[in-house]
Amino acid sequence: MKKTLIMLSVVMLLVSAVFGAGTIKIGVAFPMTGGIAAFGQMTLNGVKVAQSLYPTVLGKKIVLIVADNRSDKTEAANVVSRLIDYNHVKAIIGEIASSHSLAGGSIAERSHVPMLSPASTNPLVTQGKHYVFRACFIDPFQGHVAAVFAYNNLKARTAVVFTDVVQDYSVGLANFFVKDFVAMGGKVYKEFYQSGDQDFSAQLTDALNKHPDVIYVPGYYPEIALMARQARQLGYTGPFLAGDGAEAPELVKIGGAAVNGVYYTSHFNADAPFTEIGKEFVAKYKEMFKESPSALAALGFDSYLLLRNAIKRAGSDEPEKIAAALRHTKHFEGATGYITIDKYGNTIKSAVVNVVKNGKFTYVTTINP
Amino acid sequence: MWLTDFAQNLINGTLLGGLYALIAIGYTMVYGILRLINFAHGDILMWGVYFALYAVVAFGMPWWLGFLVGIALAGFLGFGIEKIAYRPLRNAPRISSLITAIGMSFFLESLAVVVFGGIPKSFNIYPKFFNHTLIFGHLRIQTLTFFILGITFLLLLGVLWLLYRTKTGTAMRAIATDIPTTSLMGANVDRIISLTFIIGSMLAATSGIMWAMRYPQVQPYMGFVPGMKAFVAAVIGGIGSVPGALVGGFLLGMTEILVVGFFPNLAGYRDVFAYVILIVLLMFRPTGIFTVYSEQKV
Amino acid sequence: MKRISFKTNFILTVIFVIGSGFMLLWASNSLGDYWARIITLMAIYGIMATSYTLVNGVTGIFSLGHAGFIAVGAYTAALLTLPIQQKAMSFFITPLIWPLNSIQMGFLPATIIAGCVAAFAAFLVGYPSLRVTGDYFAIATLAFAEIIRIVIQNSYSVTNGSLGLKGIPPYTTIWWAWGWLLVTLIVLGSFKFSSYGRALRAMSEDTVAARAMGIDVFKHQLMSFVVSGFFAGIGGALYAHWLTTIDPRPTSLGIMLTFFVLIMIVVGGLGSLSGAVLGAVFFAFSAQWLRIVESPMNFFGLTIPGIPGMSMLIFAVVFILIMLFWRRGIMGRDELSWQYIYNHFSKRVGDQD
Amino acid sequence: MIKIKNEKTDKKEVLKLENLTIKFGGLTAVDSFNAYINKNELIGLIGPNGAGKTTIFNMVTGIYKPSFGTVTFNDVNITAMAPHVITHLGIARTFQNIRLFSEMSVLENVMVAEHSWLQNYKAKKVLHAHNPSEFPKPRWKSWFWSAVLKTPDYLKVEKEMNFYANKLLSVVGLDKYADHKASALSYGPQRKLEIARALATKPSLLLLDEPAAGMNPQETQELADFITNVRKKFDITILLIEHDMKFVMKICERIYVLDYGKIIAHGVPEEIQKNKKVIEAYLGDESYV
């Protein structure tokens, strides 16, 4: 048994040596363990689906090298360095959380290797960088979408905004929402909480006295779920509105019936894909993982395809050329819509609004830029 | 309107304070007897909740049996921790035990990440009637509030009965003052310290399960903040004093809720209150509200 | 036992330092960017660990607030070196207050100022905290560190709050980090082996006797705390310019960082400066090396699933085992000196005879 | 109540304790203790266990704050001053249960005490306030930077410290153990080291807490010689607590007897030996008589 194993590995070694020239290495720097491991795992699933559908480019096999950043900022920088320097990848799909992308991005920038973040929505991530891109829209846009939706679709005139003061994501999003909502003529009250808080009764008691038409919580799902429960217990029956951080099956598991009526802005809805490739993605994902893909999975999928497309257009696997090609992506058909990357490395595309209805994430509408 | 708000906040504060108090009782009991800040208390709490969750989800037990199994296993865990990590260091410098306790906390968290994964799990294994909301005019009270208060007082009475009405309790109090002398008097010190840890850990698990019923989400780091807050509560009440832990817990819970309720802009500073109270108390009245132990002699 | 003369000692040390310099030169040129980063990180951790062991080991008071001073240093230095346009861009919620919004200075002055500010913070924390002793002191410093972190998190007009600071110039090279570590070791070593150091070690053993021998215990504890705070600030400044972005999350500059540094000094031996450096090198290296146990290993298509979180568990187990069975760590309270090596070596030889 | 009055006037009074009283909770451990010690005297303080002897030492050295009464040292009121300042002013002590820095070497133990040479600003200020003409206004100097940067003036002091410490060690006969860990010494040498350590602070008054405890008659004899020797050599005043009556009677010039926190007798050894109250207090314990 042992001998066969050794033989096998020797053969594989030879095979890989022979075909080694025929591969393109792409690094994947995700949080696979630690606090936000769930995001990393979901996104990686999407990347894997893309790889299984489109395994090659320029006649070469695409090899993914996954590195875990342990949801830790120091490691986020280390893994990018490791992928570039140790694994010699040509491009990186990576870093989910914006703070991680900022740490990793400066390394990619220095090494002139393109890094494409699937889900970092903070505007600062790509700011002033030539090798950092993203496959998702940015927070100002998401905040704008939320404000438009709240004002036009929910007919809300008074909103209470709950800001998670710990999360830059939440602070940024709340800021952009407030700016646009007030500009449209709405009235805003602010409340604050922090990640890890489990009791929101004080803020909610105060908030409900303002009789809001909508409560906007641009935070992450654990707190949104708990907040929804406690708000319902305090008698609030109106809608919640959240950002893409709300999207996780745990929202419903923790929140139960209380999260019905939570609207959130997102990148994608598996029930209503915009594009043909989106349908293909949903079908393949369901086949591989026996469940509906999340928005993060779709973004992971698109990141892979965007990179593959850029390599194809560049006609080369040189990092510099891939980066240049990425920058000229125009109207690319991805699972989350038609994607254009602007000169700053940001993606311009439509956003969807979903709602939790009977414990299911249900599509509501699409809002275009 | 102002009054209703105040009353509602007071009710919310009672609920949170009751939870702090429940955790603080276990904390203060272990400290009172061993003079060890058991950093791992919050993590034993977390493991108790996981045990209960898995007993129900994986083994299909009814919720009440699952809770009891969770509590019992947590007691067992506490027993093991004391035996393996704390007992060998009982005669070492106190700082060594403290460092080991920190290491233990770190270990229990890391082990939970490996065993249960880092993703928060939902704790929805208890009957729905605990979540029922009773409405009195403008006030809304969750049924769970009464349940938590009831359990807290019951356990408080139980602990007080154990400490002051049983032979074991007398031995525990004796150990609290002087280990060598107590062992000379014929009490089995090891056994009694083990027992203290088992009871302390079971109290932690009980409070953890209550905590999870209020905030139904379980993750490996869930024990840190409650543990820290309960420690502050215990210091407020005079560490080592069981009734003090109760008062400290309620005071802390109320303060946090009321301050955030009336100064919503300060929500970001919520934890600062607890820490400032802690520091001020440590500086000026380290014995807390209920003085139990006097200064040691030179 | 033969005593090694001062001259031999000095010559050997100079040779060692120059030799290490060449080693680092080689490492930075031929090991590649990744390992260069890790080697830099080792020195940064080394500075954090040596300054921590000065308090927790040499002085014998147990602080859990080290991350607070590291954070203060990191923020101070970053605010001083950040380019002015970058500041304007980052502070989009509340603008940065004057005069910080119009300052930009070099790395060296920024680092030194960071150390001084952190030392001042240590003074402010230490002065009240040192009134209590033992585990109460540990808890008080932990609470202070959390307060520092929460204040940073909420002071948008100074620290940019939870948005953190971005685009910090990547000034920290191997040379800066190891150079500062050398400075730290020289200063702390000189401090430890002076009359003051003797006083600190005496206090760590018996405060009553130390007082009776004329040592102002409070003053010396505060002094050691402030010196430690200074170098923690330096470590923080280097860390900020190594990572290029900092934020006040509990996982980045919070209690987790204090735990990590605690692991380093427990492994290295509480009270030994050279041990702390060894502990830091061990920690930084094994954090990378332990990736093997937790990342899914891909043997040419044959995937072995990794166990997530395993490396932290291994650290925790090592930590507890050291506390239970090997409390002196690598070095105990001794220092790695030529004399120490000579003694060990000659003992070994002696045993074999 | 025994009246304590200093009759000799030709010698300078070093230490004066007036109505020294301390209460722990409701218990009065020491009650209105009065005593004086003149320069170069060797005084004994005796009494049964728990009489409050060590408590008096702790009050003199500032570890306990007396509830009432004053401690005057060289005409300076030092009541409730910080222990280190009192040490800098010139009172050094040993402990009943030896409190050496056991992880440090024998030489280092002595040098720790010499750290007070660098740190006596506050004591000098006290002296200056007491008598500006005799004691000039001290200049504050932080030795910290000098110590870290190893400046010449620091190295000079360090060298002096080393020299004096070695000298002290040779006086007590421990010079050959200078590099050993303090914990490696046996009991007798540890006692001597503790005395050497106390002497390193350059005191004018030395408080010895049961120096002969746990020694056999021969060692006790040696110790008696040693103490008289030290007094002569260093020209200091000594106050010692002792259980061993023979030892005290032999070397002390005057003796205070304490029982239940109160003074019950005071006088030269011959008087004490005949004192009824003393015999009563010690009755039943033959080893003392």
Residues 6+ apart with CB under 8 A from B246: B21, B24, B25, B152, B156, B237
Mean pLDDT of chain A, nearest integer = 87
Residue B1 has pLDDT above 70, yes or no: no
The pTM of this model reads 0.89
Question: Helices C217-243 & C174-192, crossing angle to 10 degrees?
Answer: 170
- Whether residue A295 is predicted with pLDDT greater than 90 in this model: the reply is no
Residue D63 CB neighbours (<10 A)? 18
Q: What pLDDT does residue A247 have?
A: 83
pLDDT at C235: 97
C26-29 long-range contacts (CB < 8 A, ≥24 apart) are C27/C174, C28/C173, C28/C174, C28/C175
Q: Write down which chains contact chain B via at least 3 CB pairs under 8 A.
A: A, C, D
Neighbours of chain C (3+ CB pairs under 8 A): A, B, D
Residues in chain D with CB shorter than 8 Å from the CB of C217 are 84
Subunit contact C259:B106, Cβ cutoff 8 A: yes
Please name the residue ranges forming H helices in chain C: 6-30, 32-53, 66-81, 84-90, 107-129, 134-154, 156-159, 174-192, 195-205, 207-212, 217-243, 250-253, 255-268, 273-289, 291-294, 310-325, 338-352
**How high does pLDDT run on average in chain C?**
87
User: Topology of domain C9-254, per CATH?
Assistant: ABC transporter involved in vitamin B12 uptake, BtuC (1.10.3470)
Q: Give the CATH architecture of domain A2-137+274-349.
A: 3-Layer(aba) Sandwich (3.40)
Q: Say what the pLDDT of residue A14 is.
A: 46
Q: How confident is the model at residue B296 (pLDDT cuts 50, 70, 90)?
A: very low
**Does residue C352 have a pLDDT over 50?**
no
Tell me the chain A residues in contact with residue B142 when contact means C-beta distances shorter than 8 Å.
233
What pLDDT score was predicted for residue B215?
81
Give just the sign of the alpha carbon dihedral C270, C275, C277, C283: negative
**Model confidence over A150-189: pLDDT tens digits?**
999 999 999 999 998 878 788 889 999 999 999 999 999 9
Give the chain D residue whose CA is nearest to the CA of B294.
D25
The whole-number pLDDT of residue B261 equals 78
As a whole-number percent, the residues of chain D with pLDDT over 90 amount to: 33
Q: Residue B169: is its pLDDT beyond 70? A: yes
Please state, in angstroms and as integers, the Cα–Cα distance from residue A365 to each residue in A154, A161, A260, A261, A283, following that order. Answer: 12, 22, 17, 15, 22
| Residues A32, C308: C-beta atoms closer than 8 Å | yes
Kind and range of the H or E run holding D86: helix D83-89
Mean pLDDT of D199-227: 89
Nearest CA in chain A to B219: A35
Residues of A in contact with C296 (CB under 8 A): 66
Distance (Å) from the C-alpha of residue A170 to the closest C-alpha of chain B? 13
Higher pLDDT, D131 or C72: C72
Q: Which residues of C touch A72 (CB under 8 A)?
A: 251-252
Structure tokens belonging to residue A41: 């795992």
User: Could you give the residue ranges of the DSSP H alpha helices within D141-265?
Assistant: 143-149, 152-172, 187-199, 217-234, 245-251
CB spacing of B1 vs A34 below 8 angstroms: no
CA-to-CA distance for D116 and A242, rounded, in angstroms? 65
User: Which residues neighbour C69 within 8 Å (Cβ) at sequence distance 6 or greater?
Assistant: C118, C121, C122, C125, C145, C228, C229, C232, C233, C236
Angle made by CA atoms A243, A245, A251, in degrees to the nearest 5: 110
Say whether pLDDT at B105 is over 80: yes
Across the interface, of A9, A33, A77, the residue whose CB is closest to C308 is A33
Q: Are C214 and D120 inside 8 Å of each other by CB?
A: yes
What is the residue whose two structure tokens read 């048994």?
A1
Distances (CA, A) of B174 to A251, B30, C348: 50, 14, 50
Q: Are A201 and B131 within 8 A, CB to CB? A: no
Structure tokens at B277: 């109270």
Distance between first and last Cα of chain D: 24
Helix (H, G, I), strand (E, B) or coil at D140: coil
- pLDDT tens for C4-61 read 777 888 888 889 889 988 888 888 888 888 888 899 999 999 999 999 999 998 998 9
| Percent of chain A residues topping a pLDDT of 90 | 40
Q: Among D219, D123, D106, which Cα is nearest to D168's? A: D106
pLDDT band at A1 (very low <50, low <70, confident <90, very high): very low
D112, C196: Cβ pair inside 8 Å? no
Contact pairs from chain B to chain D, CB under 8 Å:
3
Instruction: List pLDDT tens digits, range C213-267.
Output: 999 999 999 999 999 999 999 999 999 999 988 988 887 888 889 989 998 999 9
CB within 8 Å: C320 and B92: no
Q: Is C120 helix (H, G, I), strand (E, B) or coil?
A: helix
CB contact under 8 A, A206 and B261: yes
- Kindly identify which residue of chain A lies nearest to residue C301, measuring between CA atoms: A12
Tokens of C100: 């910080």
Both tokens of B11, joined, read: 């009710």
- Which amino acid would we find at residue C5? S
**Given a cut of 50, is residue B297 above it in pLDDT?**
no
Q: What chain C residue is nearest to A36 in terms of C-alpha separation?
A: C251
Task: Give the confidence band of C308 by pLDDT, cuts at 50, 70, 90.
Answer: low
What are chain D's domains? 1-90+203-289 (3.40.50.300), 100-200 (no CATH)
Q: Please give the single-letter amino acid code of residue D162.
A: N
Model pLDDT, residue A15: 47
pLDDT per residue as tens digits for the range C126-135: 999 998 887 7
Residue B298's pLDDT is: 35
pLDDT at B293: 45
Cβ contact (<8 Å) for C307 and B114?
yes
Residues from chain C that touch A34, judged by Cβ atoms under 8 A, are: 251, 309
Mean pLDDT of B174-203: 80
Cα-flanking dihedrals φ and ψ of residue D96, to 5°? Answer: -60, -50
CB proximity A321 to C under 8 Å: no
Q: Which amino acid is at C215?
A: I
Answer whether A68 sits within 8 Å of C162, measured CB to CB.
Answer: no
CA distance A253 to chain B (A): 6
Q: What ranges in chain A are assigned the alpha helix state H?
A: 2-19, 37-53, 73-85, 98-111, 139-148, 168-184, 201-208, 221-233, 249-255, 276-289, 295-314, 319-327
Residue C3 pLDDT greater than 80, yes or no: no
Inspect the interface and report whether the beta carbons of C205 and D104 lie closer than 8 Å: yes
pLDDT (tens digit per residue) in B122-140: 887 888 777 777 777 777 7
Structure confidence by residue, pLDDT tens digits, C159-203? 888 888 888 999 999 999 999 999 999 999 999 989 999 999 999
CATH fit for domain B2-284, picks 1.10.3470, 1.10.357, 1.10.287, 1.10.760:
1.10.3470
pLDDT digits (tens, 9 = 90+) for A9-63: 544 444 444 445 588 999 999 987 776 777 888 899 999 999 999 998 888 999 9
The CATH number of the structural domain formed by A140-266 is 3.40.50.2300
Burial class of residue B191 (count of CB atoms within 10 Å of its CB; 0-12, 13-18, 19+): exposed
Out of A12-21, A122-131, B276-285, C140-149, least confident range? A12-21
Give the pLDDT mean for A245-270.
Answer: 86
Strands (E), chain D: 13-24, 27-38, 42-46, 68-73, 76-77, 91-93, 205-209, 237-241, 254-259, 262-267
The answer, yes or no, to whether residue D286 has pLDDT greater than 60, is no
Residue A196 has pLDDT above 80, yes or no: no
Chain C residues whose C-beta sits inside 8 Å of any chain D C-beta: 187, 190-191, 194-196, 198-199, 201-202, 205-206, 208-217, 223, 333
Scanning every residue of chain D, which has its alpha carbon at the shortest distance from the alpha carbon of B298? D63
Environment class of residue C328 by beta-carbon count within 10 Å: exposed (0-12), middle (13-18) or buried (19+)? middle
The answer, for D92 touching chain C at a CB cutoff of 8 Å, is yes
**What string of DSSP letters covers C157-196?**
HHH-GGG-B--------HHHHHHHHHHHHHHHHHHHTSHH
Other beta carbons within 10 angstroms of residue A277's beta carbon come to 19
- Using one digit for the tens of pLDDT, what is the confidence trace for D27-53? 888 888 899 999 888 999 988 877 888
| CB A219, CB B267: distance < 8 Å | no
DSSP B2-18: HHHHHHHHHHHHHHHHH
How near does any CA of chain C get to the CA of A198, in Å?
Answer: 16
pLDDT at residue B52 in the model: 94
Nearest to C251 among A37, A71, A84 (CB): A71
Instruction: Yes or no: say if A265 and A243 are a contact pair by the CB < 8 Å rule.
Output: yes
Beta-carbon contacts of residue A287 (< 8 Å; ≥ 6 apart): none
ipTM of the shown complex: 0.86
Please report, in angstroms and rounded to a whole number, the separation of the first and last CA atoms in chain B. Answer: 57
Name which of C185, C188, C213 to mutate to probe chain D: the one with the most chain D Cβ atoms within 10 A of its Cβ: C213
Q: Rounded mean pLDDT of chain D?
A: 87
Return the domain boundaries, chain B: 2-284
Percent of chain B with pLDDT over 90: 19
Chain B CB contacts of C312 below 8 Å: 106, 109-110, 113
- Relative to beta strand D205-209, strand D237-241 is parallel
Strand pairing class (D42-46; D237-241): parallel
Work out the average pLDDT over B21-48.
Answer: 87
Q: What is the C-alpha separation between D25 and D34, in angstroms, rounded?
A: 22
A2-137+274-349 and A140-266 agree in CATH topology: yes
Would you call D112 and C213 a contact, using CB atoms and an 8 Å cutoff? Answer: yes
| Residue B216: per-residue pLDDT | 80
Q: What is the mean pLDDT of residues B168-177?
A: 80
Contacts of D99 in chain C (CB under 8 A): 206, 208-209, 212
Contacts C190 to D, Cβ<8 Å: 147-150
